[in-house]
Structure 1
Amino acid sequence: MAKRTVIIAGATGMVGKEILAGLLADDTVAEVHSLGRRPPTVQHPKLRTHIVNFSSLPVLPQADDVYLALGTTIKVAGSQQAFRALDYDANLAVARAAQAAGVKKLGLVSAMGADANSSVFYNRVKGELENALEKMAFEGMVFARPSLLVGERAVLGQPERRGEKLGLAISKLIGFLIPANYRPIAATAVAKALLSQVPQAQGKTILLSGAMH
C-alpha cells in the first residue's frame, strides 16, 4: 500500500499535538505537513513545518488526508471576531487549500453542541464550520464533537481552565451517573478516534464523546 501524506493545522494545540504524535508514529504515513503560526515543539524526519498566515495560505503539497485542529476560546482570543477568525475562517481556509491539493479525507476537532442555529455563539460558529465543510466535495469527513476536554494545558503554554478542573473533579466523584457523551474526555482519546476513523472515512461521520472514550 502506498504511504500517505497528511496535512495538519493546529499541531501545537492540545488535541492537535496528540494527532501529530500519532501521525509521526504511524508507519503508513510518509510525510506530515504541519501548518501553524508557530512550529511544533517536536522534530521528526517525517515532519515538514510550514509557518503560515491563515488569511493567505500558500499552495499546499499534494496530500491524502487533512486534520483541522485549530481552536481557541473567546477569552483567549479576546473577542468574538478574533475567535471566529481562527475557529471558522482559518479552518475553512485550510480545508479549501487542502482540497485544491487533492486531499480526499478530512478530520475536524469540533465541539459538543455544534449547531449553526444555536443561540450560543461558540456552538454556532462550530456548527457553521461543520456546515461549510459538508458542502465541500471530500470523499470522507469525520467531525469529532468532544465534551469537556482534559489534558496538560500548562505544557502547551495555555492557561488552566477552572471549568475543566471542576468538571474533572465532579466526573471522578459521580462519573458513573453522567451519560458517556457528557463526561470529560482526554485529548488523547479524541486524537486516537480521529486517527483511526479518518483514513477509512466515507461520507460524513460524527463522533461524540461516548464513542471516543
Structure 2
Amino acid sequence: MVKRTVIIAGASGMVGKEILAGLLADDSVAEVHSLGRKPPTVQHPKLSAYIVDFSSLRLPVLPQADEVYLALGTTIKVAGSQEAFRAIDYDANLAVARAAQAAGVKKLGLVSAMGADASSKVFYNRVKGELENALEKMPFEGMVFARPSLLVGDREVLGQPERRGEKIGLVVSKLIGFLIPANYQPIEATAVARALLKAVPQAQGKTVLLSGAMH
C-alpha cells in the first residue's frame, strides 16, 4: 500500500484538531505536515509542525504531498475587524492551497460554512463563498467543501471564547430538534472531520458536504 503524505492548516482549531487526530491514527498516512499559528497540542513520530505567521503569508517550502486540509478560521469578534477576519479565512487558506499545489498536492479538503456564497449580503458567508470560488479555479483533481451548520465542541479546551450563537442553537436544537431540517441542526466537529477524512482521498472534481450528509 502506498503511504500518503498530508498537509493540514489549522490543526489547533475545533475541526482541525479532529482531522489531525484522524490522520495520525490512519495507517495509510506516512507523514503529516501541520501549518498553524501555534503548535498542535499533540506530538507524534509522523507529525512535523511549522509555526507560521499567516499575516505575512510567508509559508515554508513544503515537501511533496498528496492531500491538503484547510481548517484555518476565526470570527470577526476574535479577529477584531472584517479585514483581519478575511486575512485568515480567505488569504491564509488560499496561500496554503497555493503552497500545497506547488508541492504536488492533488486532493483538497476545506472546512467552509453553511451558507457560503460569494454573492451573499452577509460578510461571513460571502468570504467563505469567495474562498470556495478561488479554490475551484485551481487545478486540483478533487476537492471537498464541508459546509457545517453550528459546530458543537469544547471551545474552552482549545482556549477559544464561547460563541453565543452556537450556545443558543444548541438550546433550540434540544427543544425542537425534530422540527429542524438535518442540514441546519448543530453538528459535532468530529463528524465534520470524519466526513472530510473519508471523502478527500477519493475525491474527483468538486464535492459539497452539507451537515445532513455529515451527521
* TM-score of the superposed pair, with normalisation by structure 1: 0.99
Once residues 52 and 163 of structure 1 are traced to their aligned partners in structure 2, the CA distance between those partners, rounded to angstroms, is 30
Counterpart check, 1:205 vs 2:197: no
Query: Which residue is 1:145 aligned to?
Result: 147
How big is the shift at 1:61?
A: 0.9
**Residue type at the aligned position of 2:12:** T
Counterpart check, 1:76 vs 2:83: no
Once residues 95 and 76 of structure 1 are traced to their aligned partners in structure 2, the CA distance between those partners, rounded to angstroms, is 23
Task: Give me the CA root mean square deviation.
Answer: 0.6
3-state SS in 1 of match to 2:49: strand
Query: Which residue is 2:163 aligned to?
Result: 161
Once residues 59 and 46 of structure 1 are traced to their aligned partners in structure 2, the CA distance between those partners, rounded to angstroms, is 18
Once the two structures are superposed, what CA deviation does each residue of 1:105-161 show, in whole Å capped at 9, x if it has no partner? 000000000000000000000000000000000000000000011100000000111
Query: Which residue is 1:117 aligned to?
Result: 119
Structure 1 unmatched ranges of 5 or more: none
How big is the shift at 1:53?
A: 2.4
Correspondences of 1:1-213 after superposition (within 5 Å): 1-54=1-54, 55-213=57-215
**Residue type at the aligned position of 2:27:** D
Once the two structures are superposed, what CA deviation does each residue of 1:40-75 show, in whole Å capped at 9, x if it has no partner? 000111110011223111211110000000000000
How big is the shift at 1:173?
A: 1.3
Structure 2 unmatched ranges of 5 or more: none
Once residues 120 and 163 of structure 1 are traced to their aligned partners in structure 2, the CA distance between those partners, rounded to angstroms, is 15
* TM-score of the superposed pair, with normalisation by structure 2: 0.98
**How many residues in Structure 1 have an aligned counterpart in Structure 2?**
213
Structure 1: 4+ residue segments shifted above 2 A: none
Identical pairs, percent: 87
3-state SS in 2 of match to 1:72: coil
